[in-house]
Amino acid sequence: MTTDQGEAERFVRQFADESGTGDDALRARLAAIRREIAETGSYRHTPEELAFGAKVAWRNSARCIGRLYWQSLRVRDRRHVTGPADVAAECFAHLRAATNGGRLRPVVTVFPQDDAEGAPVLIWNEQLIRYAGYLRFEGGCTGDPRGFGLTELATKLGWEGAGGPFDVLPLVIQTREHGLQWFGVPPEVVLEVPLSHPALPWFADLGLRWHAVPAISHMRLRIGGISYSAAPFNGWYMGTEIGVRNLCDSDRYDILPEVGRRLGLDTSSARTLWRDQALVEVNRAVLHSFDAAGVTIADHHTESARFLRHVAREETAGRACPADWSWIVPPMSGGLTPVYHRYYDDHRPRPDFHLDDGARLRAQGVAAEEHRPGGPEYGEAGQPAGWASRTGAG
């Protein structure tokens, strides 16, 4: 598949415009890209183009509220890394760099670009750190239900989870030469925060914790017509991502009923607003715990104000700021935040990070049609022999 030359040229012109590249240098670069595409069907970014493109992709991420600091993104160019063990090692190095002793840093690690045969490297995990999910024989589940599919796949590949509520899933990495392999995440690169509450001593007895670095690892980075299917990146958490979505959604850890019971709330009817009261206390616990541990986290009120500063800066620079309202508005007390009371530009400019259907399936432990792993241990459906997914494919 030939790279879209028009998209490549638009990106290079954008890079030249925003970086102050002179006209002669721009003309020479455009001529070089045209020759390279004509000869090979694609081209290769310079390190400077890659760094700029990754930063702009974050700037263009319509679902991210934390884009004020897009220019601070640290770009790790690992386009030469193709072996699965080396890819895993670089992911672990990414976590070390991003964690930074609790003072989190935005980081992206870019692995080889896709070519005519597709993706040289795929990371199946949704995030570099996710918790396993186990179905119990007696009913119910342990851990994170979002991890069911990948837990099952990793187990079929030989991983053995401890069966606990917060077992870190291994990385599942696919390369052309080596197929699908798993790599355990070393405990020393996973900073976790035990959750307690500033006024409720019993909260710590719930045994809850969460990891510090939200490193998205299954989204595709597209820059100037080139796709990088493996480009894990992170910022830092907003408290409600943990305290609303991860811990309280009914299809995740679903802790609100237990918290409501321990608070002594009337849970007999939704009209008592017991869920609202319990939700606030969970989110107080998350922010308190991260602060006590010295780990970077944002609250939804502060981050909303910062986002509008970002929008204003973009408008001053003559750029529209793409934003998805349903993602920008926090999932708790949205109407109390300034981002609630306005509309946003919903176009999707490039460079960008985006999620395709194949990545969604892989994060559930299901092989996408175009990237089915090969080898005798795999059946016709692209799954390990004898493997049946509870997601419905198998």
Are the CB atoms for 133 and 145 separated by under 8 Å?
A: yes
Of the candidates 64, 91, 248, 321, the residue annotated as catalytic is 64
Q: Which of 49, 241, 281, 303 is catalytic?
A: 241
Host H or E run for residue 25: helix 23-40
Q: Which neighbouring-strand residues pair with 110?
A: 77
Q: Which of 29, 67, 76, 222 is catalytic?
A: 67
Cα Dmax for the chain: 73
- Catalytic, 64? Answer yes
Matching residue, tokens 């502060």: 302
Q: How far is CA 128 from CA 15, 90, 173, 214, in A?
A: 30, 11, 11, 8
- The DSSP-derived string for 96-128 is HHHHGGGS---EEEE-PPPBTTB-SEEE--SBS
Compute the C-alpha angle 301/304/307, nearest 5°. Answer: 155
Q: Report CA-CA distances (Å) from 289 to 66, 146, 212, 280, 336.
A: 21, 24, 11, 14, 23
Residue 347 tokens read as: 């176009």
**Which one of the listed residues 159, 236, 274, 387 is annotated catalytic?**
236
User: Are residues 319 and 190 in contact, defined by beta-carbon separation less than 8 angstroms?
Assistant: no
67 part of the active site? yes
Active site residue 159: no
321 as an active site residue: the answer is: no
> Is residue 64 within 8 Å of 25, Cβ to Cβ?
no
Q: Whole-angstrom Cα distance, residue 251 to residue 240?
A: 16
The answer to whether 150 and 172 have CB atoms below 8 angstroms apart is yes
Catalytic annotation, residues: 64, 67, 236, 241
